[in-house]
């Protein structure tokens, strides 16, 4: 197993001790505003198990973000191969994924951690492109994507395949970051 570090953050594999803080984050309605529902502790435990499994299978994944200053869990950030029951219009792909606890918002943690994963994705995994997508109304995540140098083309916008087409969160935007644009 490996970990990544930034000036302020440690990104490391999941530990059983992360579950309570992870479940609290996923139960916060404001954190989950751009997702269909908050998650129960059992749903969060299943999600953590899937993330651990993907790390073993893919050799990378979505890791907890630990603030070095106090050792606190502040969310997760990482690279992910989406695995939905229905393919995304741009599959296969590797995406940036992040979610932070509310009091960690606005401090640059998502961007800082994603930059560490960007380097790993392009230098270690030799990816040609990393994507990110979110509900169209998620302005905060879209700003992170733009700070990372990602670009959106309206032609790539899509309806998320696991939501009904008339669901308010179904319209999604796709941002892309080719290796050449990222400078790797």
> Where exactly are the structural domains of the chain?
4-182
Q: Please give the share of the chain, as a percent, with pLDDT higher than 70.
A: 100
Q: How much is the pLDDT for 184?
A: 83
Look up residue 91 and give its two tokens.
């599959």
End-to-end CA distance of the chain: 24
Q: How many residues does the chain have?
A: 184
Q: State mean pLDDT over 111-129.
A: 98
DSSP 102: G
Q: Which fold has domain 4-182?
A: Aminopeptidase (3.40.630)
Question: In the predicted model, is pLDDT for residue 38 greater than 90?
Answer: yes
* CA-closest candidate to residue 95, choices 107, 83, 108, 112: 83
* CA-closest candidate to residue 109, choices 86, 101, 137: 101
In angstroms, the CA 44 to CA 48 distance is 6
Q: How much is the pLDDT for 1?
A: 82
Question: In the predicted model, is pLDDT for residue 172 greater than 90?
Answer: yes
H-only helix segments in the chain: 19-26, 41-58, 109-119, 139-147, 179-182
Q: State mean pLDDT over 50-79.
A: 97
* CA-closest candidate to residue 55, choices 115, 8, 11: 11
In angstroms, the CA 89 to CA 92 distance is 9
Cα–Cα separations (whole angstroms), residue 184 to 10, 121, 129: 23, 10, 11
Cα–Cα separations (whole angstroms), residue 26 to 34, 53, 101, 118, 128: 12, 19, 9, 25, 31
Q: State mean pLDDT over 49-66.
A: 96
Neighbours of 11 (CB within 10 A): 23
Look up residue 98 and give its two tokens.
């992040």
Look up residue 53 and give its two tokens.
């499994």
Question: In the predicted model, is pLDDT for residue 174 greater than 90?
Answer: yes
Q: State mean pLDDT over 140-151.
A: 98
Dmax over Cα atoms in the chain, in whole Å? 44
Under the banding of pLDDT at 50, 70 and 90, the label for residue 34 is: very high
- pTM for this structure? 0.96
Q: State mean pLDDT over 92-109.
A: 98
């Amino acid at each position: 197993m490996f970990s990544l570090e930034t000036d302020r953050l440690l990104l490391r594999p999941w530990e059983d001790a992360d579950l309570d803080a992870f479940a609290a984050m996923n139960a916060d309605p404001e954190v989950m505003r751009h997702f269909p529902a908050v998650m129960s502790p059992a749903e969060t435990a299943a999600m953590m198990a899937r993330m651990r499994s993907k790390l073993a299978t893919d050799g990378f994944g979505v890791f907890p973000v630990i603030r070095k200053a106090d050792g606190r869990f502040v969310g997760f950030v990482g690279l992910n191969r989406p695995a939905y029951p229905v393919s995304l219009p741009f599959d296969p792909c590797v995406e940036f994924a992040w979610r932070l606890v509310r009091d960690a918002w606005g401090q640059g943690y998502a961007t800082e951690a994603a930059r560490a994963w960007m380097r790993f994705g392009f230098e270690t995994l030799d990816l040609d492109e990393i994507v990110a997508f979110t509900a169209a109304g998620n302005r905060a995540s879209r700003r992170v994507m733009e700070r990372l140098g990602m670009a959106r083309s309206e032609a790539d916008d899509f309806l998320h395949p696991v939501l009904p087409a008339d669901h308010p969160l179904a319209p999604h935007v796709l941002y892309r970051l080719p290796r050449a644009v990222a400078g790797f």
